[in-house]
């Protein structure tokens, strides 16, 4: 069914190969953007699973000074907090992080104001060259959670804003890129590991995006990188 929808499937046997393969794919896409347009625009996911991928990506030799980096989503906390996705990127992309152009989502004003500020800054970065999505066991991607009142609207390619203030399942404030930024990216990648997430993904094929937001992305040009073994 994914193939019918034009979704590419890349399966790797080990967590190490998964991280390396995803890093190679992202680095190649960044090189292509750098060669074509002189700069590359990248949006990455946070959470817990991307650490080996981030470390592998940071080992690639690239013109990092011309790479523009942001997050697909952020918890509304400052970057010194353990749950900050910015903190995760700073730490695990450490050898290259200070060389690239960084656009934070969290600005410290209020979630709504930060969404406006980050969205305005990201206007100049459209379309993104590469987005790397993750997925939670509840089917959320970025910080687009099932059951949020405005989630159907935010998932649309024509969502008004590029960045929105949202609430996670535990009601903690988040910031997220919307469908407007995510669907327009030239390369759209989804990284998942483990049987549980595979079952969520398969279930999403039959579900409405409002109940299972990843469903909104299960079509071309999505490329799914899957490893059965969860590190
Ligand atoms: O809350 C989040 O969770 C998802 C999934 O995280 P993972 O560690 O299970 O892959 C992530 O994609 C998102 O960016 C993050 O903020």
Per-residue pLDDT of the chain (231 residues; tens, 9 = 90+): 899 999 999 999 999 999 999 999 999 999 999 999 999 999 999 999 999 999 999 999 999 999 999 999 999 999 999 999 999 999 999 999 999 999 999 999 999 999 999 999 999 999 999 999 999 999 999 999 999 999 999 999 999 999 999 999 999 999 999 999 999 999 999 999 999 999 999 999 999 999 999 999 999 999 999 999 997
Asked, for residue 2, whether it belongs to a domain, the answer is no
The pLDDT value given to residue 120: 98
Asked whether 74 lines ligand 1 (CB < 6 A), one says no
The pLDDT value given to residue 111: 98
Distance 135 CA to ligand 1 centre (A): 6
CA distance 156 to 178: 8
Number of separate domains in the chain = 1
Asked whether 3 lines ligand 1 (CB < 6 A), one says no
Asked, for residue 175, whether it belongs to a domain, the answer is yes
Asked, for residue 1, whether it belongs to a domain, the answer is no
Closest atom of ligand 1 to 134 CA is 12
The pLDDT value given to residue 168: 97
Distance 191 CA to ligand 1 centre (A): 10
Asked, for residue 109, whether it belongs to a domain, the answer is yes
For residue 209, the domain's CATH number is 3.40.50.1360
Closest residue by Cα to atom 2, ligand 1, is 47
3-state secondary structure of 191: strand
The pLDDT value given to residue 12: 98
Q: DSSP secondary structure string, 99-122?
A: TSEE--S--SS-HHHHHHHHHHHH
Closest residue by Cα to atom 6, ligand 1, is 47
CA distance 27 to 32: 9
Asked, for residue 17, whether it belongs to a domain, the answer is yes
CA distance 24 to 83: 27
Strand pairing category for 101-102 and 67-71: parallel
Asked, for residue 37, whether it belongs to a domain, the answer is yes
Asked whether 85 lines ligand 1 (CB < 6 A), one says yes
Closest residue by Cα to atom 9, ligand 1, is 136
The pLDDT value given to residue 231: 76
CA distance 47 to 97: 18
**Residue 2, exposed/middle/buried by CB under 10 A (0-12, 13-18, 19+)?**
middle
Question: 87 near 147, Cβ under 8 Å?
Answer: no
For the entire predicted model, the pTM comes to 0.98
ipTM at complex level: 0.97
Distance 126 CA to ligand 1 centre (A): 23
Asked, for residue 164, whether it belongs to a domain, the answer is yes
Asked whether 46 lines ligand 1 (CB < 6 A), one says yes
> Which domain, by its residues, includes 158?
8-227
Strand pairing category for 173-177 and 163-167: antiparallel
The pLDDT value given to residue 151: 98
């Amino acid at each position: 069914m994914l193939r019918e929808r034009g979704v590419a499937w890349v399966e790797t046997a080990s967590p190490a190969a998964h991280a390396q393969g995803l890093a190679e794919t992202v680095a190649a896409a960044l090189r292509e953007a750098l060669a074509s347009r002189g700069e590359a625009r990248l949006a990455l996911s946070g959470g817990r699973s991307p650490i080996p991928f981030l470390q592998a990506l940071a080992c690639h030799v690239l013109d990092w000074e011309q790479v523009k980096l942001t997050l697909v989503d952020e918890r509304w906390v400052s970057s010194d907090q353990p749950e900050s996705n910015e903190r995760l990127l700073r730490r695990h992309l450490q050898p290259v992080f200070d060389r690239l152009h960084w656009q934070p989502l969290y600005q410290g004003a209020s979630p709504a104001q930060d969404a406006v500020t980050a969205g305005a800054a990201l206007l100049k970065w459209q379309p993104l060259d590469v987005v790397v999505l993750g997925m939670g066991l509840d089917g959320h991607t970025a910080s687009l959670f099932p059951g949020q009142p405005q989630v159907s609207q935010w998932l649309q390619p024509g969502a008004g804003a590029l960045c929105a203030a949202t609430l996670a399942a535990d009601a903690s404030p988040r910031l997220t890129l919307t469908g407007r930024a995510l669907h327009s990216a030239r390369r759209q990648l989804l990284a998942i590991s483990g049987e549980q997430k595979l079952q969520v993904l398969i279930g999403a094929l039959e579900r409405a995006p409002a109940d299972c937001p990843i469903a909104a992305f299960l079509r071309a040009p999505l490329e799914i990188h899957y490893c059965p073994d969860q590190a």
